[in-house]
Amino acid sequence: MFLSHPLAQSFLTEVRARETSRAIVRHRVRALAMLLFYEATRDLPHVPRPITTPLAETEGTRVAVSVGLVPVLRAGLGMVDGILELLPEARVFHLGIFRDERTLTPVEYYSKLAEHSPVDVAFILDPMLATGGSAVAAASRLKAWGVPRIKFLGLIAAPEGLRRLTEAHPDVEIFLCALDSHLNEKGFIVPGMGDAGDRQFSGA
């Protein structure tokens, strides 16, 4: 699913632009994550919740599943806080995966998962789906941990990455803001937004 909403597309344009400051990039990544999460949770199971308003008894609803957010470090970190404003009780499981610059293969360097998954649905958060290696590794890790339902939320994908994730994990639902042209020889998405970690955290 692609977010075609005009707010999402104008935020994404700001994120892409080279001159956009780190502060604005962070703010827009956070906002885009919230919009993606809003879309990706449309089918979240909920159950009736009887309540009493100041005027009458009535019946509302409450979300009935345990949600886990799985930011892929580093770049996925910028997507967590906004989503937690929408669903403060969500658990967060950090997954450290970087791409070997030479081989472009994913290397897991951090994870702290309990023995058994307490999560009904997990949302992998990573702005970039480039070769797809990191997302495929993250989804495999979560499945091995016992997560029954997984969704991927990202800002920009390359066709190669989208294909690879879909082929490796056809059951993982994918929510994105844009599908870009291609990967360059260094594995960067073109036109893309550059290095999503650097743009948010440590760039010039």
| Chain residues in the site for ligand PRP (CB under 6 A) | 72-75, 97-99, 104, 106, 126-135, 161, 187, 195-197
**Is 103 designated active site?**
yes
DSSP string, 134-151: HHHHHHHHHHHHT-SEEE
Gap between the Cα atoms of 44 and 65, Å rounded = 8
Gap between the Cα atoms of 17 and 87, Å rounded = 30
CB of 198 vs ligand PRP, minimal distance in Å = 7
Gap between the Cα atoms of 78 and 29, Å rounded = 6
Q: Which C-beta is closer to ligand PRP: that of 66 or that of 98?
A: 98
Q: Which C-beta is closer to ligand PRP: that of 61 or that of 167?
A: 167
**Is 180 designated active site?**
no
Gap between the Cα atoms of 83 and 100, Å rounded = 29
Catalytic residue from among 22, 26, 81, 195 = 195
CB of 135 vs ligand PRP, minimal distance in Å = 6
Q: Which C-beta is closer to ligand PRP: that of 26 or that of 66?
A: 26
- 10 Å Cβ neighbour count for 56? 7
Asked if 152 and 139 count as a contact pair (C-beta separation under 8 A), the reply is yes
Catalytic residue from among 58, 61, 103, 105 = 103
Asked if 173 and 123 count as a contact pair (C-beta separation under 8 A), the reply is no
Tokens representing residue 4 in the block: 């075609």
CB of 141 vs ligand PRP, minimal distance in Å = 13
Catalytic residue from among 91, 99, 120, 166 = 99
CB of 202 vs ligand PRP, minimal distance in Å = 9
**Is 49 designated active site?**
no
Q: Which C-beta is closer to ligand PRP: that of 43 or that of 185?
A: 185
**Is 195 designated active site?**
yes
| Burial of 65 from C-beta contacts in 10 A (0-12 / 13-18 / 19+) | middle
Residues marked active site are found at 99, 103, 195, 198
